[in-house]
Amino acid sequence: MLKIVHKRYKEHFPEILRKASEHMDLVFGLELKQVQPNSHSYNLVCKSDDTGDGSLSSAWRFPIKGILMPLLGVIFLHGNRASEEEVWQFLNILGIYDGKRHFMFGEPRKLITQYLVKEKYLEYRQVPNSDPPRFEFLWGPRAQAETTKMRVLEFLSKANDTVPSAFPSYYEEALRDEEERARAISPTKAGTTSKASTCSKATSRLNSHPE
């Protein structure tokens, strides 16, 4: 790496390396680890399962995470549905082109319209009443279950060296989404607690009246 960094920037190399490693971690879930203390040798390793129980889907690991999170972001930023044209315009900026095999993601159209759709991370559907037919992308049910608008907004913010509140309208929408999720979880927890309490009371009554 030092060989390809212009001598003008060699004194800034530690900061360049730090920023690059942060973005590789953020986008791809790759961690830069020093081989030995005080050495200039590093290895790129996949970060361990964030859930700790091995349940993390492969879609959130390298390399697919590198395309899934940006896709969820562009869908969110386009009003929770993005036209096929908007998605490909965005992917082109990342150097990913329709019909051109990518060195990391393979055939991109197959990945986003078949694999991620089959795995229910994306929905790919025809726009109603469109003639000629046009298609759009939405979040799939697994994306809605396994991540949130706030997490995606945090991802986009970090990628742009800012904070979620720098995007006021999207931040407010993400906060509303968090509140709705919390309200949806609360009745379930309350029902579980009530059921457990009822069972506990019934057990106590049985224990207090032995035969």
Mean pLDDT of 83-107: 94
Backbone angles phi, psi at 29, to 5 degrees: 70, 30
- The number of beta carbons lying within 10 Å of the beta carbon of residue 51 is 11
Average pLDDT of the residues in 25-30: 72
DSSP H or E stretch at residue 45? strand 42-46
Is the pLDDT at 18 greater than 50, yes or no?
Answer: yes
Torsion of Cα atoms, 59 then 65 then 71 then 76, to 10°: 90
The mean-pLDDT minimum among 55-64, 89-98, 120-129, 190-199 falls in 190-199
**Mean pLDDT, rounded, for 44-51:** 59
- Whether residue 59 is predicted with pLDDT greater than 80 in this model: the reply is no
Closest C-alpha to 106, from 141, 61, 134, 67? 67
Whether 59 and 49 have beta carbons less than 8 Å apart is answered as no
pTM of the model: 0.74
Q: What is the DSSP letter of 48?
A: P
Give the mean model confidence (pLDDT) for residues 8-28: 76
Q: Supply the pLDDT for residue 194.
A: 55
pLDDT band at 9 (very low <50, low <70, confident <90, very high): confident
Q: Are strands 42-46 and 82-83 parallel, antiparallel or unpaired?
A: unpaired
Query: Does residue 37 surpass a pLDDT of 80?
Result: no
